[in-house]
């Protein structure tokens, strides 16, 4: 789920209210990745922030990608909810959040004052509701049917990539549009190397209207589909992508090494504290034994003096 809206529109509070109602006691772990969580008053005033299982991860914008990969690896196989908040501070977090997307599908909701989009991953249906719904549906239909050889190739069997557009007018004040982009249609190839299977609609965090910016469901492309040509064969771009992939591997290795170093330092700190405690106890025991030895020496000297006096009296 992606909750989007204008700044100060109550996105975080809306999410926390959901965690206290329909998602209460659903997850074993709640991981909050937010660059501003340390001073975000909405989180600071949340009464469950210190509960067991709630993990706060403040990180810089440059480290969000690494943190998401590490968190998804550490909590893989557990019933965990990973929250990536404050996309106004991290504009590219919408691209990186696909790292945590469930492969089994689900429902994504994009909402603003003028528009509400609902994307159903399994059925591959996307619904447009709100005042701007009809206009946006028409724009998407126009983009899909445009005969642009550089970006879109349609199959000869089916020229129209969109099978149906349904207009739901159940509400008198709002328009609703549903575009069926099921996988059963022949093909719409945005990139010949990997046919597109879905439509992603991203909404800017600072605007009231959503924009259709493109689609490729592959989570591992890392922006490779941004090429405007049907098939990218530029050797410079290919080399740049390979270099970026190698750099990503290197960054992952650095992150793992840093985490291992941190764990080792933590263990060294614990052992050092235990060693200092043992030394302190030994010193205390030594001081007590030394006091007892001095007292025994004093008693021995006193006993010698008494024996000498007794001996003198007998001989005198």
pLDDT in single tens digits along all 316 residues of the chain: 666 666 666 778 888 888 888 777 788 888 888 887 778 788 888 877 777 778 888 877 777 778 888 888 888 888 888 888 775 444 554 554 554 454 445 667 777 777 787 877 667 788 888 887 788 888 887 877 774 545 545 444 444 444 434 444 443 444 444 444 444 343 333 343 343 333 333 333 333 343 333 334 433 444 444 444 444 446 666 677 777 777 888 888 888 888 888 888 888 888 888 888 888 888 888 889 888 888 888 888 888 888 888 877 777 6
Beta strands in the chain (DSSP E): 29-33, 54-57, 80-84, 107-111, 116-120, 125-130, 153-154, 164-168, 175-180, 188-189, 200-202, 211-214
Q: Give residue limits of the domains in the chain.
A: 11-119, 249-315
What pLDDT sits at residue 175? Answer: 43
What pLDDT sits at residue 90? Answer: 47
3-state secondary structure of 231: coil
Pick from 180, 203, 17, 8: nearest CA to 111: 203
What pLDDT sits at residue 301? Answer: 84
What pLDDT sits at residue 52? Answer: 72
Give the alpha-carbon dihedral of 149, 150, 151, 157, to 10 degrees. 20
Instruction: Tell me the pTM.
Output: 0.30
What pLDDT sits at residue 7? Answer: 64
What pLDDT sits at residue 184? Answer: 38
What pLDDT sits at residue 18? Answer: 83
What pLDDT sits at residue 232? Answer: 45
Q: Rounded to whole angstroms, how far apart are CA atoms 130 and 112?
A: 9
3-state secondary structure of 176: strand
What pLDDT sits at residue 158? Answer: 45
Q: Rounded to whole angstroms, how far apart are CA atoms 210 and 36?
A: 24
């Amino acid at each position: 789920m992606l909750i989007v809206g204008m700044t100060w529109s109550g996105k975080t509070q809306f999410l926390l209210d959901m965690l206290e109602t329909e998602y209460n006691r659903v997850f074993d772990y709640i991981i909050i990745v937010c660059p501003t969580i340390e001073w975000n008053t909405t989180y600071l005033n949340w009464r469950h922030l210190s509960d067991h299982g709630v993990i706060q991860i403040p990180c810089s914008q440059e480290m969000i990608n690494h943190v998401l990969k590490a968190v998804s690896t550490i909590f893989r196989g557990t019933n965990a909810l990973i929250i990536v908040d404050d996309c106004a501070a991290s504009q590219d977090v919408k691209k990186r959040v696909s790292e945590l997307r469930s492969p089994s599908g689900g429902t994504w909701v994009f909402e603003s004052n003028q528009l509400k989009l609902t994307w159903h991953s399994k059925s591959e249906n996307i619904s447009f509701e709100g005042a701007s719904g009809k206009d946006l549906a028409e724009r998407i239909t126009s983009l899909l049917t445009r005969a642009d050889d550089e970006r879109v190739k349609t199959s000869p069997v089916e020229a129209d990539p969109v099978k149906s557009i349904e207009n739901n007018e159940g509400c008198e004040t709002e328009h609703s549009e549903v575009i069926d982009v099921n996988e059963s249609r022949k093909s719409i190839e945005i990139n010949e190397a990997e046919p597109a299977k879905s439509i992603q609609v991203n909404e800017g965090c600072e605007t009231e209207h959503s924009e259709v910016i493109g689609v490729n469901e592959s989570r591992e492309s890392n922006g490779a589909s941004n090429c405007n040509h049907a098939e990218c064969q530029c050797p410079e771009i290919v080399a740049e992508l390979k270099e970026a992939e190698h750099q990503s591997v290197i960054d992952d290795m650095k992150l793992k090494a840093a985490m291992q170093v941190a764990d080792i330092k933590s263990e060294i700190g614990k052992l050092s504290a235990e060693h200092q405690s043992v030394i302190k106890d030994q010193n205390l025991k030594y001081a007590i034994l030394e006091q007892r030895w001095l007292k025994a020496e004093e008693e021995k000297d006193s006993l010698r003096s008494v024996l000498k006096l007794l001996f003198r009296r007998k001989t005198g």
